[in-house]
Amino acid sequence: DQQVKQNSPSLSVQEGRISILNCDYTNSMFDYFLWYKKYPAEGPTFLISISSIKDKNEDGRFTVFLNKSAKHLSLHIVPSQPGDSAVYFCAANKRGSEKLVFGKGTKLTVNP
Amino acid sequence: EADIYQTPRYLVIGTGKKITLECSQTMGHDKMYWYQQDPGMELHLIHYSYGVNSTEKGDLSSESTVSRIRTEHFPLTLESARPSHTSQYLCASSRTGKYQETQYFGPGTRLLVL
């Protein structure tokens, strides 16, 4: 039973437009959420995180929104750039646990 | 910038061979992790360590073993490789702190067992 779901395996956007990547979770005990970016044959790179006490966190072109009542979070990238093309993983953690639970990832393609 | 290293980056090996995947970090992180990932799938935790001489199994059952004799070093060993072990192996580390932890990943080892 997947606790973290990324229902869109892929997303294609035009350079300069907004990319919106979505993630849903089922475990209400999760209180810390992270987004990672991964290129093929490389390790995931940490992008941005958000604690459950917030509903928004922004870092440059990246913004993460958290809707606790819907158990949903999203990553917005604006403006999108071709170098953003990668697989994006959503991950969740609950306080006191060392374990991150990952979604299956969404492959983002940004077209020039 | 995360300073976590994995060697080898790629390994092609025959069935039955013993292999050790190396992972080192220079950030002084006390916690280290091994994940396994197949294409199009989520990362699965196979081992983790709270610190020196501490190792625990993760959520995904694995025939591999790990050791943590030094803080910075967390090698993973397969005594007898099989084609089912073909996968990408990712090492990560984090620091125990006041706030919830962010795990930082190495570049991974892509293993192919023939």
**B17 φ, ψ (degrees, to nearest 5):** -80, 150
Q: What is the mean pLDDT of residues B59-81?
A: 93
How many percent of chain A have pLDDT more than 90?
89
Query: What pLDDT digit, counting tens, does each position of A41-71 carry?
Result: 789 999 999 999 999 999 999 999 999 999 9
pLDDT at residue A108 greater than cutoff 70: yes
Q: CATH number of the domain at B13-113, please?
A: 2.60.40.10
Q: Output the pLDDT for position B56.
A: 93
| Residues of B whose CB is below 8 A from A9 | 40
Q: Output the pLDDT for position A98.
A: 76
pLDDT at residue B1 greater than cutoff 60: no
Which residues fall within 8 angstroms of residue B33, CB to CB, at 6 or more apart? A98, B45, B47, B48, B49, B58, B91, B92, B93, B94, B103
Q: Output the pLDDT for position B61.
A: 79
Where do the domains of chain B lie?
Answer: 13-113
Nearest CA in chain A to B36: A43
Q: What is the mean pLDDT of residues B31-41?
A: 92
| Residues of B whose CB is below 8 A from A42 | 107-108
In whole angstroms, how far apart are CA A59 and each of A63, B1, B31? 6, 16, 26
Q: How does the average pLDDT of chain A come out, rounded?
A: 94
In whole angstroms, how far apart are CA A95 and each of A32, A100, B12? 8, 11, 39
Q: Output the pLDDT for position B97.
A: 67
Number of Cβ within a 10 Å radius of residue B104 = 22
B6/A43 touch (CB, cutoff 8 Å), yes or no:
yes
CB contact at 8 A, B33 and B86: no
A100/B31 touch (CB, cutoff 8 Å), yes or no:
no
For an interface test with A, which of B43, B101, B112 has the most A Cβ atoms less than 10 Å from its Cβ?
B43
Q: Which domains does chain A have, with CATH numbers?
A: 4-111 (2.60.40.10)
pLDDT at residue B101 greater than cutoff 80: no
Query: What pLDDT digit, counting tens, does each position of A12-35 carry?
Result: 999 999 999 999 999 999 999 999
Q: Output the pLDDT for position B99.
A: 64
